[in-house]
Amino acid sequence: MKYTPPSRLKFYSTNGNAPAASLEEAVVRGLAPDRGLYVPESIARLTPETLADLPHAAFHEIAAAVAFNVFGGDIPVRELAQLVKEAYDCPDPFTGSPMVALKPVTDRIYALELFHGPTLAFKDVGARFMARLLGYFIRKQGRGECVNVLVATSGDTGSAVANGFLGVEGIRVHVLYPKGKVSEIQEKQFTTLGQNIVALEIDGTFDDCQALVKEAFMDEALNRRLQLTSANSINVARFLPQMFYYFDAWARLTDALPAADLRGQQVVFSVPSGNLGNLTAGLYAKGMGLPATRFIAANNRNDVFFQYLRTGIYAPRPSEATIANAMDVGDPSNFARILDLYDNSHEKICGDISGATFTDAQIAETIRSTWQQHHYLLDPHGACAYQALVDGMRPGETGIFLATAHPAKFKETVEQIIGAPVAIPDKLREFMAGTRQCVPLSHRFDDFKDYLLRTCC
C-alpha cells in the first residue's frame, strides 16, 4: 500500500477550555487540563485505492495503513510500521495469530472475534499499540523520570493494559478495579504479574475507580510531583487504534463473500457498549471511510446511553452489577466524544446509532439459545451485541457484532447458563496459577492520592 504523508494532528479538548495539543502531548497527558477528553481536529479519509487493497492485507498491514493515516504526520513511517509490527505481528505461543477473526454465526450475522490476543479480550488491540506509542515518546524525549499510568477497569481493560505494558522500561502501571465486581479470571490477569504492574482493589464501583483517575489528573500537587497518564479509553492512544479491527472486519467480509452477495448489502456493526470507547472508535472509522451503514449500541441494565438515544436526555446514574460486568458503567466517559463528533446533535447521533438494552435473564437466554441452535458460544457482552442484531437488523443488511472477550473469562456464569463445561485456554490457565497481589484502598480520593505520593516513582 502506498502512503501519502498526512498533516500533523492537533487535538482539542471536548470541554473547549484548553490549548490544542500535539499527539505526543495528548498521549502523555491522557486528559486535557480542563478535564475534557482530547479529540483530533480532523482525520483524513482513506483513499479508495487503500480501501481496495485492504481485503488482500493481513491484520497488522491493515493496522499500519490506518495508523499511518492517523499518526503518520507525527511519527516517521518506518518507525510507525515497526510499532505496529511489534504490537500485532507477534504470534502468541498460546493464542496464535491473527489477533482477530471474522466468523459466521448465521447466514446474515458474523462474529468479529476480538479475543485472540494475549489476554483474550478486545482491549489487547488498543493497549498493545498504546504501550509502544507511549514508550516511543518516552524514548524520544529521553525522560529520566518514571511515567505512571493510571487505569480504571470494570473487567478486561486492566488485564489488557497490564499485559501490554508489562516490562516496558520507564513506565509503572496502577490498575484500579472495583472490589468483588470483576470475574476471578479477569482479576488474576492483572493481579499476578508483578514487575511494573500494581493492582489497586477499590472499595466501590467502576465509576468510583474512573472518578479517582480523573481527579488525579486534576490535582496540582500530584502533577507537580509525578508524571501521570491514563490508559483507559480516555486516552486517544487507547481508543483510536480500535479503528483497526473495524476496517479488518470489513476487509474479511469483503474477502469472504462473493461480490454479488455484497452488492446492495448494507453493513451494520453491533457493539457491546459500556464506557463507549469501542463504539466511538467505530464512528471515527466511519468518518475515515469505513463502509458501515450504521451502528447499534448494545447495553445491559446500565442503559444510560440507550435512554439518551430514546429521549435525548443524558442522565448518568450509579452503575449496577450485571453478568456483563465490563459494561457496568453509569456515566460513560466517551459520551463527550460522541457529542463532539456530532456537534451535540441528538438527531445526527440517532441517524448513525440505534440502541438496545438487555437484562441478565435476556443475556443468559441469548447465550443458551445461540449455543443450542448454532453451536456458537457467546460471552455475556457479545451476547448483548448479537441479540441486538437478531432483534434489530433490517432487510438488505449484513450484521457484524463485536465478540469482545473469550467466554472462558466468564467460565462459571457461562457454564451455569449452558449446562456444559467451558474449556479454559492454556493462556488463561497460566494466569489462574499465579499468586494474587493487590493493594486494598477506599474510594476516597485522599487515600488514593496519599498512596500515589508514597509509592510512585
Residue-wise pLDDT for 48-107, tens only, equals: 999 989 988 888 889 999 999 888 888 988 899 899 988 886 554 333 457 899 999 998
CA distance linking residue 267 with residue 397, whole number of Å: 6
Domain containing residue 262: CATH number:
3.40.50.1100
Neighbours of 323 (CB within 10 A): 24
Pick the closest to residue 424 from 405, 411, 414 (CA basis): 411
Q: Quick check: 379 pLDDT over 80? A: yes
3 part of a folded domain: no
87 part of a folded domain: no
Pick the closest to residue 134 from 149, 119, 153 (CA basis): 149
CA distance linking residue 388 with residue 357, whole number of Å: 8
Whether the Cβ atoms of residue 152 and residue 160 lie closer than 8 Å to each other: no
Check residue 372 and give its pLDDT.
Answer: 97
Check residue 143 and give its pLDDT.
Answer: 54
Check residue 35 and give its pLDDT.
Answer: 86
CA distance linking residue 71 with residue 18, whole number of Å: 21
Neighbours of 254 (CB within 10 A): 17
Q: What is the mean pLDDT of residues 133-159?
A: 78
217 part of a folded domain: no
Q: What is the mean pLDDT of residues 316-341?
A: 93
CA distance linking residue 132 with residue 128, whole number of Å: 7
Neighbours of 173 (CB within 10 A): 26
Comparing 118 with 277, which gets the higher pLDDT?
A: 277
Check residue 145 and give its pLDDT.
Answer: 60
Check residue 92 and give its pLDDT.
Answer: 44
Beta bridge partners of 113: 101, 403
Check residue 174 and give its pLDDT.
Answer: 93
291 part of a folded domain: yes
Which of the listed ranges 180-194, 249-263, 341-355 does the model predict with the highest average pLDDT? Answer: 341-355
CA distance linking residue 78 with residue 178, whole number of Å: 41
Check residue 28 and give its pLDDT.
Answer: 85
What grid cell was written down for 82?
A: 515497526
Check residue 164 and give its pLDDT.
Answer: 84
Label residue 255 left, alpha or beta by phi (over 0 means left) and psi (-120 to 50 means alpha): alpha
Check residue 248 and give its pLDDT.
Answer: 94
283 part of a folded domain: yes
Q: What is the mean pLDDT of residues 434-445?
A: 91
Q: What is the mean pLDDT of residues 174-195?
A: 88
How high does pLDDT run on average in the chain? 89
Q: Which of 249-253, 298-302, 349-353 has the lowest mean pLDDT?
A: 249-253
CA distance linking residue 185 with residue 428, whole number of Å: 7
336 part of a folded domain: yes
Q: What is the mean pLDDT of residues 202-231?
A: 87
> Before 178, cis peptide (omega within 30)?
no
What grid cell was written down for 172?
A: 509503572
Q: Which of 195-204, 253-262, 278-287, 390-399 has the lowest mean pLDDT?
A: 253-262
Q: Quick check: 389 pLDDT over 90? A: yes
Whether the Cβ atoms of residue 57 and residue 1 lie closer than 8 Å to each other: yes
pTM: 0.87
Q: Quick check: 260 pLDDT over 60? A: no
Neighbours of 390 (CB within 10 A): 18
Strand order in the sheet with 101-104: 101-104, 109-113, 397-403, 266-272, 294-299, 353-357
b/e sequence 333-355, b meaning 16+ C-beta within 10 Å: bbbbbbbbbbeeeeeebbebbbb
Comparing 1 with 328, which gets the higher pLDDT?
A: 328
pLDDT category at 31 given cuts 50, 70, 90 is confident
Q: Which domain holds residue 374?
A: 101-121+239-422
Check residue 419 and give its pLDDT.
Answer: 95
Label residue 281 left, alpha or beta by phi (over 0 means left) and psi (-120 to 50 means alpha): alpha
Q: How many domains does the chain have?
A: 1
CA distance linking residue 384 with residue 382, whole number of Å: 5
114 part of a folded domain: yes
